[in-house]
Structure 1
Amino acid sequence: MKDLMGMMKQVGQMQARLKEMQDDLAKSEIEGQSGGGLVHLTVDGRGEVKRVRIDPSLMKPDEVEILEDLIVAAAADARAKVDNIMQTKMSEITGGLPLPPGMKLF
């Protein structure tokens, strides 16, 4: 019975650390880029877009599709960075405890 109580206490502590990590990450800003730095897209830790910065050299009417693709690529880069940060922080919280594939705690 002591083991179960100890495990429940650890789960509670893990949940508190997870909540703290999510709050901290939500306040952070992560930048993705594409086109060799011509497009920058900043997201918060939840992946919500906060800013987009586009180099003026890309503002050509006949290159709209290229610009659209670069924005999508910058967003994907930012999201991958957010995922990587979350995965690293989750590993710290769980003590490297392997989770089943596809299982997310956030």
Structure 2
Amino acid sequence: MKGNMGNMMKQMQKMQKKMMKAQDELHEMSFEASAGGGMVTVLANGKKEITDVQIKEEVVDPDDIEMLQDLILAATNDVLKQIDDKTNETMGQFTKGLPGGMF
């Protein structure tokens, strides 16, 4: 019985190392989303940090700031969703088949 427990602990440590490596790789990834046909582009890393915002000059209209704000929000929300989806896809492989609440 002790052998099984030791083996299980080794398996858990191995899985933990793989999870940490996958998480580090995710943090290094770049994500990009745009709105308004490319008028606003938002770049972020896997840590959900916005690294750049690009705005085409022709979308800047002092009489319609609200449209620009909407485009920035749309692109930002899209890039954050991409990060969440990729994180769930990548990290989900480690939790498949585990009883709920174990991790």
Paired position in structure 2 for 1:69 = 70
- Provide closer, same or farther for how the CA distance between residues 98 and 54 of structure 1 changes in structure 2, counting only shifts above 3 A: farther
User: Once the two structures are aligned, what percentage of the paired residues are identical?
Assistant: 30
- Provide closer, same or farther for how the CA distance between residues 62 and 98 of structure 1 changes in structure 2, counting only shifts above 3 A: farther
Paired position in structure 2 for 1:20 = 21
Q: Give the alignment's TM-score, normalised by structure 2.
A: 0.84
Q: CA RMSD in A?
A: 1.9
Amino acid of the structure 2 residue aligned with 1:6: N
Number of aligned positions between the proteins: 101
CA contact (8 A) 2:30 2:45 kept: yes
Residues in 1 aligned to 2:87 and 2:79: alpha-carbon distance in whole angstroms: 12
Amino acid of the structure 1 residue aligned with 2:23: Q
Note the C-alpha offset of 1:86: 0.8
Residues in 1 aligned to 2:23 and 2:92: alpha-carbon distance in whole angstroms: 13
Runs of 4+ in 1 over 6 A off after TM superposition: none
Residues in 2 aligned to 1:11 and 1:71: alpha-carbon distance in whole angstroms: 42
Note the C-alpha offset of 1:96: 2.7
Note the C-alpha offset of 1:91: 2.5
Residues in 1 aligned to 2:5 and 2:62: alpha-carbon distance in whole angstroms: 65
CA contact (8 A) 2:23 2:91 kept: no
Paired position in structure 2 for 1:97 = 97
Unmatched runs of 5 consecutive residues or more in structure 1: none
Note the C-alpha offset of 1:41: 0.3
- Provide closer, same or farther for how the CA distance between residues 59 and 98 of structure 1 changes in structure 2, counting only shifts above 3 A: farther
